[in-house]
Amino acid sequence: MANLQEPRPDVSRPVNRVVSLRDVAKEAKVSAATVSMVLNGNPRISRATATRIQRLVERMGYQPNRLAQSLSSKHTHVIAVMLPALRHAFADAYFGEIISGICDKAGKMGYKVMLEQAKPEFVKDKQHVRLYERRFVDGVLCLGTNDRHRWLGDFAAAGCPAMLVDNAVDEFKVDSVVCDYASGAEQVMNYLIQLGHRRIGLITAGQDIKMARRVRKAYETQLHNLGVDCNDTCIVDGKFTEEGGAAAASKLLDAHPDMTAIFAGNDKMAIGAMHEAVRRGLRVPADLSVVGFDDLRHAAFINPTLTTIHLPLYEVGSSAMERLVERIHGRPEPVKEVLPTHLIVRQSTAMAKTTTAAPGQN
Amino acid sequence: MANLQEPRPDVSRPVNRVVSLRDVAKEAKVSAATVSMVLNGNPRISRATATRIQRLVERMGYQPNRLAQSLSSKHTHVIAVMLPALRHAFADAYFGEIISGICDKAGKMGYKVMLEQAKPEFVKDKQHVRLYERRFVDGVLCLGTNDRHRWLGDFAAAGCPAMLVDNAVDEFKVDSVVCDYASGAEQVMNYLIQLGHRRIGLITAGQDIKMARRVRKAYETQLHNLGVDCNDTCIVDGKFTEEGGAAAASKLLDAHPDMTAIFAGNDKMAIGAMHEAVRRGLRVPADLSVVGFDDLRHAAFINPTLTTIHLPLYEVGSSAMERLVERIHGRPEPVKEVLPTHLIVRQSTAMAKTTTAAPGQN
DNA sequence: CTCGTTTGGTAAACTGTTTCAACACTTCGG
DNA sequence: CCGAAGTGTTGAAACAGTTTACCAAACGAG
């Protein structure tokens, strides 16, 4: 047995043998506990020993093994970001902005970010809570959720810190940080109405998403207050995609040739709608005003540039990360944070054409 | 001591006490080693015991703690994706597509994906290798790298499995998976030349990126072969952004009012260029053809739709993930994989206007 | 009937860190 | 001069798995 340690001395062993805390301790002729305490700034250790060991740690290039740290400390300092199981979820600027905010804040707080997609098998297997139970992560941030995602209830049951990002679900008690969709939609409607528009179509999507319902509600309320009749043919589903937006615009314009404005629930659908309008020979904004929602980066680089609601997605991500860590650290109170939105006027909107004057001047 | 186990029985303790392997062992009246072996399918254990324990594992809802597993097994089953330190890296469809491919493949191979941004302090601190040394991850995939990223050499030095994704750097021996940029650029040039274009501008970016240099080279070679004089005023940097593309197009059109086509090194710059062209009252493609490079999703939804080179980014990510795992498992040979690209013709290109006939018909 | 082999299982060591009880050694007040 | 309090350090247990050397029982062959 003893000779197992003999073969080492020969110098032909520059193998990147990772130095452990015990190696440092041995070299310093102290116990592992002492080194550990020095590294954690425990004041019980004398200045002299502390600096001596710190220098040694430096010299030996010691790096704590964080698997061992986490195993013993009960904290992984990793959080998971759950994205919806859409083919293009990662390539989507909407999610990208949020993730950007999450990652920046995570880095500052000493957390790592793990990516996960909420595929059907994944959540059916309860993998999303296993992430926590198996000690992969300390908490989970959920993006792109909707009311049908029953699995959101599992987090509370398992005691796993979790947050909904830019959506809220009443049913389960999960914390959330969202943009003020209601106010955003009101701003859009006020603006369009002010421009003289009365025949306004809505391209929406995801009526199982609370935030989307809020937009629809604001739209309906505003039109109703104005005395404008707005039946179901004024509201079409656009599936959050460019294609869907184009198809929805097509339906709207078929049903209402006199429509002067379209309000889309996100920028992508708005872009699709503009695309369709141009295809039909309509001029945007002269014949048709189009408004989006999100203010994604390229909204400013399409032709014409898109009037839209700016959502503070980066901030939402950043804040959600912060709240999640608070929860991990034991904050008891639930959180429902709402961040303000505002209208960005660009070129895709203009005064309504004064054809058949709107009925109610009110 | 014994009474430490007494207080448990009372039912007022539904605390989600996580069951450990030892709990299962105790319940099954076998040793922890036996349970471990059952779970790992070790044939040393008899069928009878194995099934008995499997059932118990099921019943007790045991989940292996993967920190402990990784600590002793030396494998974390996590890989890191390093993104460049750009404000919008996450929201960028280019990176998104690659990440999408990485994540899908990672999921299938039983790996988790961690996100990391290569900020200056981060790489200066050698955090990128610490990721490996401190046992956060088993390997690293690097996106959006360039020749100035000296830190890429650190991986080999530390013995950390790493891969370059959609770029290659000769200097360091790091594996890579890339799109065939040279062929893509040749296809673009052939196509434009075939349409009669001779005054073709190039908007490029990142000349410290090998792939970008390849595009430029192909452009220059093709024009040279045709006997078309192409001085430096035909090549402008567009910084990979829409703004940059617009500014670059502006410079090009100022210097060469007779220019009939612009070839941009990525879709975003192409979109910016189109934007600028329209701003100047030029019709695309009647007055100016514009070609992009990437085939990002929204290239098909701008006005006019963009002719571009399709890059198999999803496949690049997927393949890089696969190669990385091979390397982690000990594949010795280096890998340089090249995936084919192809031209997608849409509406932003047309025959060159026959104004001042091009000099060389060759 | 004994010896060698297979079978099924176990105890103990190991991964690398944190934490806590205990301990040796001052120092100080009474 | 003795007990109390304070200081600096350590051994050992804990975290939750994997792995290895070893062992007992069963079995077959000579």
- CATH code of B41's domain: 1.10.260.40
Q: Which of A107, A159, A296 sits opposite B16 (nearest CB)?
A: A159
Residues A197 and A287 in one domain: yes
Residues A207 and A98 in one domain: no
pLDDT band at A8 (very low <50, low <70, confident <90, very high): very low
Averaged pLDDT score across all residues of chain A: 91
Residues A171 and A192 in one domain: no
The mean per-residue pLDDT over the stretch A106-112 comes to: 96
Asked if residue B351 belongs to a domain, the reply is no
pLDDT band at B16 (very low <50, low <70, confident <90, very high): low
Residues A109 and A142 in one domain: yes
Residues A188 and A160 in one domain: no
The per-residue pLDDT for range B284-330, each reduced to its tens digit, is 999 999 999 999 987 887 889 999 999 999 999 999 999 999 999 99
Closest CA to B346 of B296, B275, B312, B281: B296
Residue A76 CA to residue A135 CA, distance in Å, equals 7
Closest CA to B352 of B260, B290, B274: B260
Residues A166 and A198 in one domain: no
Torsion of CA A329, A330, A331, A335, to 10 degrees: 80
By residue range, what is the domain housing residue B146? 78-179+313-339
Considering its fold, how many domains does chain B have in total? 3
And the tokens for A245?
């937006």
Residues A170 and A86 in one domain: yes
The per-residue pLDDT for range A143-199, each reduced to its tens digit, is 999 999 999 999 999 999 999 999 999 888 899 999 999 999 999 999 999 999 999
The per-residue pLDDT for range A60-70, each reduced to its tens digit, is 999 999 999 99
Chain B residues close to A297, C-beta within 8 Å:
88, 91, 242
Asked if residue A66 belongs to a domain, the reply is no
Closest CA to A242 of A222, A263, A218, A268: A268
Residue A22 CA to residue A35 CA, distance in Å, equals 8
A351 touches strand D (CB under 7 A): no
> In Å, how far is B91's CA from the nearest CA of chain A?
4
Asked if residue A200 belongs to a domain, the reply is yes
The per-residue pLDDT for range B113-127, each reduced to its tens digit, is 999 999 999 999 999
Residue A142 CA to residue A82 CA, distance in Å, equals 5
Q: What is the pLDDT of residue A2?
A: 35
- Nearest residue of A to residue B298, measured between CA atoms: A242
The mean per-residue pLDDT over the stretch A84-108 comes to: 92
* Residue that is last in its domain, among B276, B295, B312: B312
Residues 6+ apart with CB under 8 A from B359: B198, B227, B228, B229
Count of all residues that appear for chain A in the document: 362
The mean per-residue pLDDT over the stretch A334-346 comes to: 97
Residues B168 and B186 in one domain: no
Asked if residue A284 belongs to a domain, the reply is yes
Asked if residue B83 belongs to a domain, the reply is yes
Q: Would you list the DSSP string of A75-93?
A: ---EEEEEEES-TTSTT-H
Residue B273 CA to residue B243 CA, distance in Å, equals 9
What are the C-alpha distances in Å from A97 to residues A92, A100, A102, A297, B92? 9, 5, 9, 9, 9
Residues B221 and B154 in one domain: no
* Residue that is last in its domain, among A312, A328, A354: A312
The per-residue pLDDT for range B58-77, each reduced to its tens digit, is 999 999 999 999 999 999 99
CA A220, C1' D3: Å apart?
84
Residue A347 CA to residue A285 CA, distance in Å, equals 7
Residue B97 CA to residue B339 CA, distance in Å, equals 15
The mean per-residue pLDDT over the stretch A234-241 comes to: 95
- Kindly state the percentage of chain A with pLDDT values over 70: 93
The per-residue pLDDT for range A20-31, each reduced to its tens digit, is 999 999 999 999
Residues A119 and A159 in one domain: yes
Q: What is the pLDDT of residue B253?
A: 96
The CATH number linked to A220 is 3.40.50.2300
Asked if residue B65 belongs to a domain, the reply is no
Asked if residue A45 belongs to a domain, the reply is no
Residues B103 and B174 in one domain: yes
Number of Cβ within 10 Å of residue B336's Cβ equals: 12
The mean per-residue pLDDT over the stretch A216-226 comes to: 95
Can you name the residues that pair with A115 across neighbouring β-strands?
Answer: A81, B113
Asked if residue A115 belongs to a domain, the reply is yes
Tell how strand A162-165 and strand A139-143 pair up. parallel
Q: What is the pLDDT of residue A334?
A: 94
Is there a contact between B65 and A302 if contact means CB atoms under 8 Å apart?
A: no
Residues B189 and B301 in one domain: yes
B46 touches strand D (CB under 7 A): no
Q: What is the pLDDT of residue A355?
A: 55
